[in-house]
Amino acid sequence: MTTLDLTGDVVELTRTICDIPSVSGDEKALADAVETALRSRPHLEVLRDGDAVVARTSFGRGTRVVIAGHLDTVPIADNLPVVVDGDIMRGRGTVDMKAGVAVALHLAATLTSPRYDLTFVFYDHEEVAARLNGLGRLVRNHPEWLAGDFAILGEPSDGTVEGGCQGTIRVKITVPGVAAHAARSWRGSNAIHSAGAVLDVLRAYQPRQPVVDGLQYHEGLNAVKIEGGIAGNVIPDLCTVYVNHRFAPDRDVAAAEAHLREVFAGFELEVVDAAPGARPGLDRPAAKEFVELVGRPPQAKLGWTDVSRFATLGIPAVNFGPGDPLLAHTDNEFVPIPEIRQALRVLESWLS
Amino acid sequence: MTTLDLTGDVVELTRTICDIPSVSGDEKALADAVETALRSRPHLEVLRDGDAVVARTSFGRGTRVVIAGHLDTVPIADNLPVVVDGDIMRGRGTVDMKAGVAVALHLAATLTSPRYDLTFVFYDHEEVAARLNGLGRLVRNHPEWLAGDFAILGEPSDGTVEGGCQGTIRVKITVPGVAAHAARSWRGSNAIHSAGAVLDVLRAYQPRQPVVDGLQYHEGLNAVKIEGGIAGNVIPDLCTVYVNHRFAPDRDVAAAEAHLREVFAGFELEVVDAAPGARPGLDRPAAKEFVELVGRPPQAKLGWTDVSRFATLGIPAVNFGPGDPLLAHTDNEFVPIPEIRQALRVLESWLS
């Protein structure tokens, strides 16, 4: 087993943990190394569930900050071991998200007297089906391990704070008709034509752009699938439109569903799936200080991310980590080394 | 081989040819019997192509009438041999369309000095894929065998004259978009939403109901299929709408296509398939007399039928035959015996 030096140089630590392959489902070697290294730090209590490792302080501070990151990567594309080229570290996992994990490991090991109590969460299976997600499993099995007032996910965010996330709900709208032979179409009722009224609603819809906890979100309402038709000579008796609504975190899933039922009043509507958004929580005192230290205006996170899993526990959460998120999953994945050091500097200043 | 008595009772002849099974692809036995029986009549020239048999007079009359019927049936459903029950003859092929074929065979054999020159056409493969259709094969291989001024197809029409048929054209309308992640939908352009404009056209369309050669047709313009969508979280970059236009026989396929290109101006439109309609030709003198003898108002044929194959040769054509067309292909298929005799009586009066 590779021994991790958590207190040394964070860039070397990034390289070391990148070079322990940990494609989703194969995180054990890295999780073992992380657990062992953390257990050697007496100020930390270390817990484990599968290949998720949790380490936390218990200094009796009035506020607890949670710092989380996933250990797994997408499959290796002949891009390990990592290569350092000037200010760039290149290879699988560098940006998504072992640089963020290395920063968190270094903080866990070195902040022996932090300003707030701290909980560090390193988890498995982020890059695969949602039902396998290690953070989701901790939410189900041990929600008390994740308790806190504010959470930071170390996903790459170009060094800015990306706050919260929007929720998503998918509904299936079923438009009926009456089948008939196309030669006598007036004896039937064309379901595809009737679905035009659903598209009318979508075309006329004005999405909200609400400000939530200081960040501006941007909603959306879109057909993502349409299907109808039986045969080339038959008036269709059914047309189905699948609609995806992305909603700002000032609404929960129930409110989003109610909104859709109002917008599509008169249509048969069925919820296919939904995931709540997450408030950024940047109005909390601890979060405000953090954002000031980052020194750049925070951005609303529009896509759905694992911060929403904290939101289900009532914990506001943000993304903050080194590197460009658009490089995640690319074969050319890399992280700028100065951004690793800068992320560590900001978090150290805030938490010391 | 069953010997056919063409000059005897037309009802017995109907029974005899029903009891020679002739499901599509298996018409040879019946075609052989028909050919042999017709060859015994000295006033007829008999021709054969595959399992299609053509018999014609050559008296030098100024007008030629074509009488056609198909020899094949849909598969037998334990409904042969036929059963006569009072005024009803029941079993596979009775209504679709061996009663009509029996009437034609009887006329061919007995009208030894007809008022017009006559051509009788008995063909195969009507109940299966259009490319196999025996009448279509004759149009391709021997159009001169089908020459005439007016044609009657003996398909069941409840004893009324159903004139001509409407044409059909199917087009594929491709609506483009720009893909984007559904979390940032405004960066894309939703092709399904844009397809709403196609449905607008369809919903607003007022179909013509023109009178052609004295019969009122009823056009139609309908989406018969719609599909679009890539994944539940992607703004679709493509939506496809298949539209079927049924058009009255005062327009040919080219005019119908031009009409659609005008109606859907600005959209990318591709013709998938098309078949011309057929004018009823009831304004021709011979046809007028025939309609008067039938004694019931003729009806426009809205669905596409084999009369259109005559139209491609410039020959107006109508459906006229005993029995209810709605019984065709049902396991309960039957023909009222008085309608067989009545059809024969009308045609004999007209052609003698």
* Three-state secondary structure readout of chain B: CCCCCCCCCHHHHHHHHHCCCCECCCCHHHHHHHHHHHHCCCCCEEEEECCEEEEECCCCCCCEEEEEEECCECCCCCCCCCEEECCEEECCCHHHHHHHHHHHHHHHHHCCCCCCEEEEEEECCCCCCHHHCHHHHHHHHCHHHHCCCEEEECCCCCCCCEECECEEEEEEEEEECECEEHHHHHHCECHHHHCHHHHHHHHHCCCCCCEECCEECCCEEEEEEEEECCCCCEECCEEEEEEEEEECCCCCHHHHHHHHHHHCCCCEEEEEEEECCECCCCCCHHHHHHHHHHCCCCEECCCCCCHHHHHCCCCCEEECCCCCHHHCCCCCCEEEHHHHHHHHHHHHHHHC
Query: To the nearest whole number, what is the mean pLDDT of chain A?
Result: 94
Q: What is the mean pLDDT of residues A31-43?
A: 98
Q: At which residue do the structure tokens 């058009």 appear?
A: B247
Average pLDDT for A118-131: 93
Interface test with B, best of A172, A192, A227, A246 (most B CBs within 10 A): A192
Q: Do B227 and A229 make contact, defined as CB atoms within 8 angstroms?
A: yes
pLDDT exceeds cutoff 90 at B326:
no
Which residues of chain B neighbour A231 with C-beta distances below 8 Å?
224
- Look over chain B and give the mean of its residue pLDDT values, rounded to a whole number: 95
pLDDT tens, position by position, B253-301: 999 999 999 999 999 999 999 988 988 888 888 888 899 999 999 999 8
pLDDT of residue B180: 87
- For A234, the closest chain B residue by CA position comes to B224
B interface with A, Cβ–Cβ below 8 Å: 166, 168, 170, 181-186, 190, 192-193, 195-196, 199-200, 202-203, 218, 220, 222-236, 239, 241-242, 244, 246, 272-273, 302-304
- Chains A, B: CB contacts under 8 A, how many? 152
Q: What ipTM is given for this predicted complex?
A: 0.80
Question: What pLDDT shows up at residue A312?
Answer: 85
- Nearest CB to A182 within list B192, B222, B229: B222
Instruction: Test A229 with B244 for CB contact under 8 angstroms.
Output: no
Question: A35-49, B15-29, B158-172: which range is least confident on average?
Answer: B158-172
pLDDT at position A208 over 90: yes
- Is residue A58 predicted with pLDDT exceeding 90? yes
pLDDT band at B328 (very low <50, low <70, confident <90, very high): confident
Q: Which residues of A are catalytic?
A: 72, 126
**Sheet strand arrangement including A220-228:** A268-275, A167-176, A238-247, A220-228, B220-228, B238-247, B167-176, B268-275
Task: State the smallest CA–CA distance between residue B210 and chain A in angstroms.
Answer: 15
Work out the average pLDDT over B125-141: 92
pLDDT at B83: 97
Query: Is-contact A118 A57, C-beta < 8 A?
Result: yes
Q: pLDDT tens digits for B29-54?
A: 999 999 999 999 999 999 999 999 99
Identify which of B181, B193, B223 has the shortest CB distance to residue A192: B223
Could you give the CA distance from residue A35 to residue A123 in angstroms, rounded to a whole number? 11
Nearest to B246 among A182, A196, A303 (CB): A182
- Closest chain B residue by Cα to residue A188: B222
pLDDT score at B233: 84
Q: Which residue among B192, B218, B272 sits closest to A223, beta carbon to beta carbon?
A: B192
Interface residues of chain A, partner chain B, Cβ below 8 Å: 166, 168, 170, 181-186, 190, 192-193, 195-196, 199-200, 202-203, 218, 220, 222-236, 239, 241-242, 244, 246, 272-273, 302-304
Q: Are A222 and B190 in contact (CB < 8 Å)?
A: yes
Q: Check if B126 is active-site.
A: yes
Report the DSSP beta bridge partners of residue A120: A55, A67
Per-residue tokens: B244: 């079927």
pLDDT for residue A233: 85
Is A347 or A213 the better-scoring residue by pLDDT? A347
In three-state form (DSSP H/G/I as H, E/B as E, the rest C), the secondary structure along chain A is CCCCCCCCCHHHHHHHHHCCCCECCCCHHHHHHHHHHHHCCCCCEEEEECCEEEEECCCCCCCEEEEEEECCECCCCCCCCCEEECCEEECCCHHHHHHHHHHHHHHHHHCCCCCCEEEEEEECCCCCCHHHCHHHHHHHHCHHHHCCCEEEECCCCCCCCEECECEEEEEEEEEECECEEHHHHHHCECHHHHCHHHHHHHHHCCCCCCEECCEECCCEEEEEEEEECCCCCEECCEEEEEEEEEECCCCCHHHHHHHHHHHCCCCEEEEEEEECCECCCCCCHHHHHHHHHHCCCCEECCCCCCHHHHHCCCCCEEECCCCCHHHCCCCCCEEEHHHHHHHHHHHHHHHC
A203:B193 CB<8 A: yes
Over range B205-227, report the average pLDDT: 95
pLDDT, position A304: 84
Instruction: Give the closest of B199, B230, B233 to A193, CB-based.
Output: B199
Nearest residue in A to B207, CA atom: A186
Are B232 and A224 within 8 A, CB to CB?
yes
Which chain A residues are within 8 Å of B184, Cβ to Cβ? 218, 220, 302-303
Query: Which has the higher per-residue pLDDT, A236 or B325?
Result: A236
Chain B residues closer than 8 Å to A229 by CB: 223-227, 242
Distance from CA of A202 to the nearest CA of B (A): 7
Give mean pLDDT, residues A252-260. 97
The shortest CB-CB distance from A225 to any of B200, B228, B272 is to B228
Q: What is the pTM of this model?
A: 0.80
